[in-house]
Structure 1
Amino acid sequence: MLERLKDYYKGAIIINTLPDNQEDYQWFADETNSIIGIEKQTISEKDFAIISLFLTPITNETLHFSSEQRLWQKLLFQKNAEEQVHALLEQINKANTFIRFIQFHIREPFFEKLAFEEALYGLLSSQFIIVWKDNQYGTIIEIYEEQNPEQLLNNHIFDTLISDFYVSITAFAGRLYPLDSTLISSFHWENQIFQTVRQYNKNKSLLQMEDILPRFLLNEIKQETHQQFSQQILQDVSEDKELLTTIRAFLEYNMNVSLAAKKLYMHRNSVQYRVDKFIEKTGIDIKSFKGAVSIYLALLAYEQASI
C-alpha cells in the first residue's frame, strides 16, 4: 500500500518527516505507526476516503504523540482494534505488566493538551501514558509491574488540574488489569459505566468503582421503578431535604457521626438526632450494614428519578 502511494503521489508524499508547513499536509499512520503525509492540494475527498480504509487519519496535534501513544489510541478508540488486539499488544511487548485506566471528561472543549500532560507528570508518581479521543475525553494509562501497587491515587490530583486550567473535570479510576487480550474489553466495560453515570457525580472530581457501580446498576432499572422504590422506602421523609442530606453524608462517611458532622459543619449531636429521627420515621436501621445499603440505594434512586 505504501509503495503504491509513493508511486502515485511521488514528490507530494513524505514519510516519518515533519516539515515546517505541517498544516499543508493530510496525515495518516499505518499499522507500524509510521507517519505518512500527503499534500492536501493533491488529495481529493474520494482519495481520502479510500486511503482511510487502509491507513488511520491523524490530526496535526497527534503528530507530536509518541508511537506508543498512537498505538494505545488505536487500541482504545479505533473500532476495528479488537481484531488486531493480539498484534498490537505484541508491539507493546511488556511481560508481567498491569494496567489501570483513569478515564476523564472535561466539560468544555480543551486544547492545552501538552500542558495538561506536563502537569500530570508533576502530580502522578506512576509510569503513565495519556491518550485523547477528542477535545473533551481522554484516558490516562497507568503502568505497573505488580498486581497490587501500594501507590494509591490521590483524590486531589484532579482538583489541582481543575484549579490550574480553570476547567470542570470528572475522572474515573478503574481496576488493575493484566496486559493481555482481555484488556481492551475491560476498558470498554469501564468506559460504558463511566459514560452512563458521570452525569450524576458532578460534585466529585475523581470517582472510584465503588462510587459509580451502584448508580450503574440502578441505571439498568426502569425510571418508574426508581420512583416507586424511593417512594416506598423513604415515604414521609422524602420531602425533608435537610434530613436526606444528613443521612447521605452519614452513609458516605461510613456511618461515622463525627465525620459526617465535620463534613456538614454541624454539631455531632445534631447529626445523631437526625439519624435517630430517620430510623424512627422509616423503621430501617441505617446503623446496620443491610439497612445502610438499602437506604443508600433508595437515596440514589430518588436522586436519579429527580433528574
Structure 2
Amino acid sequence: MNSKVNIIGLLEKGRNLLYNIYVRNMVIKMLSRLKDIYQDKLQEEVTQITDDYYYFYKDKTNCDIFAISKTISQNEYYLLKELYNEKKMYTYDYDLQKIYEYLLENKEYPFKVKKIRMIVFHLNKEDMDIAQKLLFDIYQNCYFLELYHLNICFFEENQTKIKDLFETLSVDLGYDIILHEGLIFNHRYRGEEILEYIKAYHDNESIYKKAYTDLADIILSLGRSEYVNLKKALKNNLLIPLFQDATTREIISVMFKNDLNVSQTSKLLYMNRNSLINKLDSIFKETGLNLQKFTHACAIYQMIYLA
C-alpha cells in the first residue's frame, strides 16, 4: 500500500514538473513574440526601475520581470494584465520598493544589516527635510516611508540615542516632536508582523498622541483578541530567546521578585553590581527593553502571558 502511495506521489510530482516546464517554455515563446511585436518598447531583462514602463512577472514560478513602455495603448496594457501578473510599484527607489514589498506583500527581509531599528515620528511637514537630513547624516542604512499617514524611519543604530536627538531637534524647531521608539527587528520577523506593529501604534490614540512612547507601550496596549501575528512574533523573537539563556532567565526572575532593585538582585545572584548592569545593558541593546524601567519590566512580564 505504501509503495503504491509513493508511486502516485512521484507521478504527481513528475506531472507538476512537466507542467511547469511546459508553462516556462510557453512564457519564453510568448515573450519572444512580444519582443518581435514591440521591439525596443519591451525589455526582457530589467536593470533599472523607472516611471516610463509597466512591469510584469514573467511567470508564477519566479520573481523575474520584464518591462514594457507606457507608450502602448490602454487596450494593449489591459490585455497584458490578463496574460501576466503586474508587479505593483510603490516607489521607483529600489531599496524602498523592497521595504514596501516586505511590509505589504510579505516578501523577504529587505535590509542589508542583521538588525534594524524602526521609529515613527510626527512633525510639521515643512520641517520633514530637516529631520530626514539629520537622520541620514547620523545613521547608516536609513530609509523613510509613509504608511497610514505616519512618518516611519528604519535605520542601523549606533552610539547616538534617538530620543536625545529628537529632544535636541524639538528645542531647535521650537515645538514638541512626537516620537515612537519602536521595535528592533531582524530577518526572523515577517513583513506582515512589522506592518501589524505599525497598525497597533496607529490604532491606539492614547499612544499615538503622547510625546514619547516606545516598544513597551505597544506591548502593554495589546489586547486579548487583536494583533495575533504581532503577539506571536514578539513572544517567539523577543521573549523565548531571552529566556533560553539560563543566566538571563535567573536575572529576570530575581529582578521581578525584588521590585527591580539592582543592588539587591546582584547580592542574591552573587554577581558584581557592574557585571549585572552590563548584562542588563546587553539585554536592552538586543531587545529594546530595559529591565531597570518599570514599564519595560511590565512589558516583559505581560509577554509571558500573551496568547
TM over 0.5: no
Bucket of the pairwise TM-score, normalised by the shorter protein: 0.3 to 0.5
- TM-score, length-scaled by structure 1: 0.45
Taking structure 2 as the reference length, the TM-score comes to: 0.45
